[in-house]
Amino acid sequence: MKLEYTPQELMVVAAAREIADGEVVFVGMRLPLLAFGLAKRTHAPTAIGLFENGLVRDRVPPPDLYTMSDAPNVADAAWATGLLEVMQVLQRGDVHLGFIGGAEVDRFGNINTNLIGSREHPQVKLPGSGGGADIACLAQRLVSLMEHEPRRLRARVDFITSPGYGDGSPEWRARQGLVRGGPSALITTLGVLRFDPLTREACLASFHPFTSPQAVQAATGWPLRLAEECSPTPAPTVDELRLIREADPHGFWTR
Amino acid sequence: MVFLTTDHRPLTPAKRLSLAEAVERFVPDGASIAMGMALESLIPFAAGHELIRQRRRDLELIGPISDMLFDQLIGAGCVRRITAAWVGNVSAGLGHNYRRAVEQGVPGPLELEEHSNFSVGLGLQAAAMGVPYLPTRTLLGSDLARHNPRIRPAEPGLLHVGAIRPDVAILHVQRTDTAGHAHCWGNFGLMREAGLAAERVIVVAEEIVETDVILSDPNRILLPPHRVAAVVHAVGGAHPSPVQGYYGRDHAHFGEYHQASRQREGFLGWLREWVLDVPDRAAYLARLGARFDALRPSAPRLAAAVDYA
């Protein structure tokens, strides 16, 4: 039987697989929230989730959340506190993995959520960092999620909101003074990109089963290299799809 | 009028005002205002709408993320400057009025001081502590630090975030007494830091209760009472954002605003319907009708009692 699923559902599954059991995860909203819940209900039952509004959860998030501050996410939280407390935990290095989204990303994993165009005359004013820049600077690993289009995956971004590996030169993050971290994966609607340990360049690690490496390359704003072991992204299982649809019953984020 | 304890010594002067009085007295043109500090919940929409009705101008709005309220004040022409980490609509992403102001200068130009959530919090915390700045490891390598004059390079591996001292913090809570002992629960975001950093605090509450109710659970009190300048009773004052234990988030309202505000004309129509033609929050709730009641929790979810004996 052929499984039917959306690219967003596959992204949730791919993001959940980035979470190891026992890890402290800076969660955020939308697809990462669903990924956190899926990981907790499958392979990572003891993962802990941090939310920048001041919540920590070690129970599975309730279904049908639109924002992290919806009442059901607060009820039975493991800690209800403030933003600075959660950011302190992040800054001291407790967070293994952070998730963020963005408007555009470049080949070295730098993310822009501030503006398209120039600062003086922006073509599009984007909402801004929120906690994204903090997560990108301070988490041990960063996974970002994005729609895969040439205008979103660009050779260079117009503004670095959330730093990845900068210009890709050796030790760029250390030279900025950053003590840890950096992008480990970029999960898109077409594939999963990972960063070459030497060149720090994003390469295609897997392409989603409904597309091809060539199609992913054509939708990327730089000459995208294929990783040596580039293969199809494993499709969601029946159980994974069921769990995602229980968490997002109206398909608000995944349809 | 003074509040009396059982032994008849004055405790703290009563501070109760109507929302219109509180805005008139404590939020002049040009004021800097911290609002929406809990992030997606407890957003003081009623107070924001009163600012619009009283035609405040040249305001500076301060916040971490700001879900829709900043966009409304910008579109209404009340705002000169934004100091924030994110301005938009959490349900839909972009804020159309914010975009029009920055991209086209409509209805007026906007000065931006762009932050991350952590750097806004550190700036408020510095002011709360009475120090000029706090060091941090966030924003190293980010263009936000390069373009924000309040964030300065320091010794290697650290940035200094300068103090952010709002003129006023407007904080929505579940319940308070008239002296400003306020109970708040759920996620706090930056409410406590803003309340300690601001020159004055206006507390807007779903319920006004007896002082004994509040003092029976002092760990749940948001701020020391001397910080609070005014106490306002506004049922539904945070709608369409949620208030833990009182009402849930009205997601559809955020979506409807996003659609209506896509064009300037549509926004002005929305503003008339929900702000300008509505004298106060009671009239706003009457306009919402049964839709507001449907947001009430279907069953209580009480915490276990604690014993302070």
Of A125, A161, A177, the CB nearest to B140: A177
In this predicted complex, what is the ipTM? 0.97
The mean predicted confidence, pLDDT, of chain B is 95
Do A122 and B251 lie within an 8 Å CB cutoff? no
Decide if pLDDT at A1 tops 90: no
Q: B14-293: CATH homologous superfamily?
A: Glutaconate Coenzyme A-transferase (3.40.1080.10)
The tens digit of pLDDT for each residue in A4-62 reads: 999 999 999 999 999 999 999 999 889 999 999 999 999 999 999 999 999 999 999 99
For residue B301, the chain A residues in CB contact (below 8 A) are: 75
State whether the Cα torsion A132-A135-A137-A142 is positive or negative. negative
Range with top average pLDDT, A118-122, B4-8, B26-30: B26-30
Residues of chain A with pLDDT > 70, as a percent, come to 99
Q: Is residue A252 a part of any domain in this protein?
A: no
Q: Taking CB atoms and an 8 Å cutoff, what residues of chain B touch A179?
A: 137, 157
Domain ranges in chain B? Answer: 14-293
Range of the domain at A163: 7-247
pLDDT-based confidence at B91, cuts 50/70/90?
Answer: confident
Q: What percent of chain B has pLDDT over 90?
A: 94
Helices A30-41 and A7-16, interaxial angle, to 10°?
60
Total domains in chain A come to 1
Cα–Cα distance measured from residue A238 to residue B296, given in angstroms and rounded to the nearest whole number: 36
Q: Name residue A188's beta-bridge partners.
A: A146
Shortest CA distance from B38: residue in chain A: A53
Q: What is the pLDDT of residue A2?
A: 61
Give the CATH number for residue A66.
3.40.1080.10
Phi, psi of A241 (to 5 degrees): -65, -40
B257/A contact by beta carbon, under 8 A: no
**Do residue B143 and residue A159 have CB atoms under 8 angstroms apart?**
yes
Which phi and psi angles does B81 have, rounded to 5°?
Answer: -145, 145
- Angle of helix A83-91 relative to helix B117-129, nearest 10 degrees, comes to 110
- Cβ atoms of residues B203 and B176 within 8 Å: yes
- Full-prediction pTM beyond 0.80? yes
Res. B6 pLDDT band, cuts 50 70 90:
low
- Mean per-residue pLDDT, A217-224: 98
Judged by CB atoms closer than 8 Å, whether chains meet at A68 and B40 is answered as yes
| Range with lowest mean pLDDT among A66-70, A232-236, B49-53, B89-93 | B89-93
A95 neighbors A89 (Cβ within 8 angstroms): yes
Which amino acid does the sequence have at B240? P
Mean of the pLDDT values across residues A130-157? 97
Distance separating alpha carbons of residues B49 and B256, to the nearest angstrom: 17
pLDDT at B4: 47
* Mean pLDDT value across residues B130-140: 98
Residue A87, classified by CB atoms within 10 Å of its CB into exposed (0-12), middle (13-18) or buried (19+), is: buried
Predicted confidence (pLDDT) per residue in A191-218, tens digit: 999 999 999 999 999 999 999 999 999 9
